[in-house]
């Protein structure tokens, strides 16, 4: 058996204002993803709106999320939250390099 180890901080360079996506594990119901934000923000008036629970951790850096309705959530290293289905949100600000770990749960909550 060959066990493959990788590092979540590897190869995280990128252009300012951009986001890079890397799938770490994917199966029928679950996707684990690394997102690297380079001082990026979601365009004004664009909202992320996902059908399922999304569990999000800031592994490095910091970020400010904004939810539709005005709630702002400041996140520092180690902070995590669950973004409920259809909780429309955008990334307002991030550090020069913020590394997110995201677990997409492709099932209805409570099922």
Which residues have a Cβ under 8 Å from the Cβ of 110 and sit 6 or more positions away? none
Report the nearest approach of a copy of itself to the CB of residue 8 (Å). Answer: 5
Judged by CB under 8 A, the residue of 37, 53, 94, 98 near a copy of itself is 53
Could you tell me how many residues make up the chain? 111
Judged by CB under 8 A, the residue of 13, 16, 25, 43 near a copy of itself is 25
Report the nearest approach of a copy of itself to the CB of residue 77 (Å). Answer: 8
Work out whether the CA dihedral 58, 64, 70, 71 comes out positive or negative.
positive
C-beta separation of 90 from 47 below 8 A: yes
Select the span of 15-23, 40-48, 53-61, 90-98 touching a copy of itself (CB under 8 A). Answer: 53-61
64 sits near a copy of itself (criterion: CB under 8 A): no
Q: What are the structure tokens assigned to 108, written together?
A: 């209805």
1 sits near a copy of itself (criterion: CB under 8 A): yes
Which residues have a Cβ under 8 Å from the Cβ of 99 and sit 6 or more positions away? 8, 9, 12, 34, 35, 36, 58, 59, 60, 61
**Binding residues for a copy of itself (CB under 8 A):** 1, 3-10, 24-25, 27-30, 32, 53, 55, 57, 59, 65, 67, 69, 71, 73, 75-76, 78-84, 87, 101, 103, 105, 107, 109-111
């Amino acid at each position: 058996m060959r066990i493959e180890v990788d590092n979540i901080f590897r190869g995280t360079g990128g252009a300012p204002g951009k986001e890079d996506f890397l799938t770490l594990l994917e199966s029928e119901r679950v996707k684990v993803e690394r997102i690297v934000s380079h001082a990026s923000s979601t365009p004004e008036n664009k909202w992320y709106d996902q059908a399922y629970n999304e569990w999000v951790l800031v592994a490095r850096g910091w970020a400010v999320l904004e939810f539709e309705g005005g709630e702002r959530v400041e996140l520092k290293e180690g902070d995590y939250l669950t973004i409920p289905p259809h909780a429309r949100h955008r990334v307002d600000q991030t550090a020069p390099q913020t590394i997110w770990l995201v677990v997409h749960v492709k099932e209805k909550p409570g099922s």
